[in-house]
Structure 1
Amino acid sequence: MADLTITASAVLPGASAALAAGTAGETIVAGKAVYLASATKKWMLADADSVTAEARKAVGIALNGASLNQPVGVLTGGDVTLGAVLTAGQAIYLSDDPGGLCPLADLATGDYVCLLGLAKSTSVLTVDVQFPNVAT
């Protein structure tokens, strides 16, 4: 398998969603996994094989697209519709492609495990980030 194919225009938070807002530190597309950079206080794309430890732990899912220094909303917990085909019950992880979401089988040796959440249905992901800080 590969990263989930997300339809950016279909990314929508559920009623139970925990939300955050801020400024994009780079170009971000809705549905991508992001983290908040401590040095700049800007949202950046998370990456499971980044050399920067901070970037390996996603905080949530971007709810809208944004370019550098534009506002971006982030879902940090709860349900999100991704516009992607999910398998109910499947665990979804941070990919080694910046901001990407994938099943566990797509992580390569040396990638850091960051569980983003579990598929609640074929269209909804329940986000509950778990980061044990261990590489595969």
Structure 2
Amino acid sequence: MTDLVVTSALVVAGADSSAVSGVAGEAITAGKAVYLASATKKWMLADSNSATVEARQAKGIALNGASLNQPISVHKSGDITIGGTLVAGQAIYLSDTAGGLCPLADVGAGEYLCLIGLAKSTTVLAVDIQFPGVAL
């Protein structure tokens, strides 16, 4: 699987960003896909083939890096400069690497589909997370 290479220092929320704040449940870098763990109410790295059901459904993209128990901002929808090279018009999905993002071609058998958004340009991702709950 080939994940997008994200430069965390270049991750920036767009003007239409819908974001929330919370606490990191593990080390997270900016640009990684995350979910809110129901048991701890902390943000964790999402993973399309996780044994934990809720981890398969990303809820947003980390806007900043954080270590365990540090504050984190999470971009839930709207435009985000992702800090990586995109292909305009391409759909971006959650990968099987914790927090990773990838194109559909790199989602493998047994992974759960979680659409993160569509690339508006080579740098901007329009985040609109969709999770049908089905595996390839």
- Fold similarity call, TM over 0.5: yes
Give TM-score scaled by structure 1 length: 0.99
Partner of 2:21: 21
Task: State how far apart, in whole Å, the 2-side matches of 1:40 and 1:83 are.
Answer: 29
Partner of 2:62: 62
Structure 1: unaligned runs, 5 residues or longer: none
Q: Deviations over 1:27-56 (max 9, x none)?
A: 000000000000000000000000110000
Secondary structure, aligned partner of 2:118: strand
1:1-136 aligned at under 5 Å gives the runs: 2-136=2-136
Structure 2: unaligned runs, 5 residues or longer: none
Report the Cα offset of residue 131 of structure 1: 0.1
Task: State how far apart, in whole Å, the 1-side matches of 2:47 and 2:16 are.
Answer: 26
Secondary structure, aligned partner of 2:128: strand
Report the Cα offset of residue 82 of structure 1: 1.1
Amino acid at match of 2:48: A
> Identity of paired residues, percent?
66
Q: Deviations over 1:100-131 (max 9, x none)?
A: 00001111100000000000111000000000
Amino acid at match of 2:135: A
Runs of 4+ in 1 over 2 A off after TM superposition: none
Give TM-score scaled by structure 2 length: 0.99
Secondary structure, aligned partner of 2:44: strand
Q: Deviations over 1:74-93 (max 9, x none)?
A: 00000000111100000000
Equivalenced residue count is 136
Secondary structure, aligned partner of 1:34: strand
RMSD: 0.7
Amino acid at match of 1:9: A
